[in-house]
């Protein structure tokens, strides 16, 4: 190839690369609200609106995402569930509580993720695309987790860290079972509950590891909520999610699907049994500050309208 053509070709490739990177960075701030209707309530039960938030990964100064989250209060959800990874900086707790402030006036529940315990640090982003070997490395300095938990529980939100809880929301009795972050191996499934059954049992986890999802459906949960995957963060057109950063199959990396005990051993297209739970995995709102990119996977919050069949 002639030098001029070589230079032109390299320039073209460089331009495409810059356009790709620019698009990824822009997309990482293109916050969107997704809506789903799930028939999980008993007949005659009033409809409930659940706002599912996950993976805010807020630093101490991020304003755009903070204000977008605050604006979600206008949806007037009956319940807010936060599935963890709120923090991305040692001084981020005030910014997170500021983002959630108007939503804390609503009934809520939460679990923690690894980034609520340890600050992120620079690393090779290509590692995220490699198979998950199960080895966990502490990712940085210890974060002020206790301050985050205190800020949420002081407003009445349920801390579901390896425990159970109950809420009466809009006249409907809900029961919850939650675990600490399975990605770090912190999950300890709580002892059985012998209280009267609620209208709906909800399982809450940061990372949707199959052992946890199986345990929750065996426990009686009909709705499972998780985050962690970022929806893959990079999704290829025509292929979808590349990796989930856990042992969940990539077809369930974001959005709504069905889950039942043993679903992990069935092909993705396998028909669910009639009593299969509904699983919602949020692609989340943030990213690590060291890899602030998304492709074909906009940051999201989800409004789940729970109805009777």
Question: Which tens digits make up the pLDDT trace of 190-244?
Answer: 999 888 789 999 999 999 999 999 999 999 999 999 999 999 999 999 999 999 9
Higher per-residue pLDDT: 128 or 18: 128
pLDDT at 80: 98
* pLDDT per residue as tens digits for the range 247-282: 999 999 999 999 999 999 998 889 999 999 999 999
Q: State which fold the 31-307 domain adopts.
A: Purple Acid Phosphatase; chain A, domain 2 (3.60.21)
Q: What is the pLDDT of residue 60?
A: 95
What pLDDT is recorded for position 135? 54
Of 1-15, 16-30, 216-230, the range with the highest mean pLDDT is 216-230
Cβ–Cβ under 8 Å, residues 260 and 90: no
Q: What is the pLDDT of residues 156-179, one digit of tens each?
A: 999 999 999 999 999 999 999 999
Query: What confidence score (pLDDT) does residue 217 get?
Result: 98
DSSP-derived secondary structure for 96-149: HHHHHTTGGGS-EEE---GGGTB------GGGGGS---S-----SSBP-HHHHH
- Give the closest residue to 176 by CA, choosing from 187, 162, 155: 162
Residues 133 and 247: their CA atoms lie apart, in Å, by 10
**In the chain, domain spans:** 31-307
The radius of gyration computed from the CA coordinates of the chain, to the nearest angstrom, equals 20
Q: Cα(147)–Cα(247) distance, rounded to whole angstroms?
A: 31
pLDDT category, 8, cuts 50, 70, 90?
A: very low
The total number of residues written for the chain in this structure:
309
Q: How far apart are CA 198 and CA 171, in angstroms?
A: 11
- Note the pLDDT of residue 129: 61
pLDDT band per the 50, 70, 90 thresholds, residue 291: confident
Distance CA 1, CA 253 (A): 44
Mean pLDDT rounded to a whole number for the chain: 90
89-117 pLDDT, tens digit per residue, is 999 999 999 999 999 999 999 999 999 99
pLDDT at 12 (0 to 100): 41
Q: Assess whether pLDDT exceeds 80 at residue 25.
A: no
CB 161 within 8 A of CB 176: no
pTM: 0.92
CA-based nearest residue to 57, from 126, 114, 140:
114
């Amino acid at each position: 190839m002639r030098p001029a053509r070589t230079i032109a070709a390299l320039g073209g490739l460089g331009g495409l690369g810059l356009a790709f990177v620019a698009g990824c960075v822009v997309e990482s701030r293109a916050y969107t609200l997704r809506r789903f209707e799930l028939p999980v309530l008993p007949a005659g039960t009033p409809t409930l609106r659940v706002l599912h938030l996950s993976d805010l990964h807020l630093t101490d100064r991020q304003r755009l995402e903070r204000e977008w989250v605050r604006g979600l209060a206008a949806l007037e959800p009956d319940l807010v569930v936060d599935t963890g990874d709120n923090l991305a900086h040692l001084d981020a707790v005030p910014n997170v509580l500021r983002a959630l402030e108007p939503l804390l006036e609503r009934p809520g529940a939460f679990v923690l993720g690894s980034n609520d315990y340890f600050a992120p640090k620079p690393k090779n982003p290509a590692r995220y695309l490699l198979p998950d070997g199960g080895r966990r490395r502490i990712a940085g300095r210890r974060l002020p987790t206790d301050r985050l938990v205190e800020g949420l529980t002081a407003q009445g939100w349920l801390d579901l860290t390896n425990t159970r809880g109950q809420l009466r929301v809009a006249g409907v009795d809900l029961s919850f079972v939650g675990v600490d972050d399975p990605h770090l191996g912190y999950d300890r499934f709580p002892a059985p509950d012998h209280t009267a059954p609620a209208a709906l049992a909800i399982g809450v986890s940061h990372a949707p590891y199959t052992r946890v999802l199986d345990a929750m459906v065996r426990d009686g949960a009909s709705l499972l909520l998780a985050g962690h995957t970022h929806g893959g963060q990079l999704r290829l057109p025509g292929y979808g999610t590349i990796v989930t950063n856990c042992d969940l199959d990539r077809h369930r990396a974001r959005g709504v699907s069905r889950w039942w005990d043993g679903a992990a051993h069935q092909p993705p297209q396998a028909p669910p049994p009639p009593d299969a739970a509904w699983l919602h995995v949020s692609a989340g709102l943030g990213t690590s500050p060291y890899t602030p990119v998304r492709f074909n996977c906009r940051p999201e919050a989800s409004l789940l309208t729970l109805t009777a069949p």
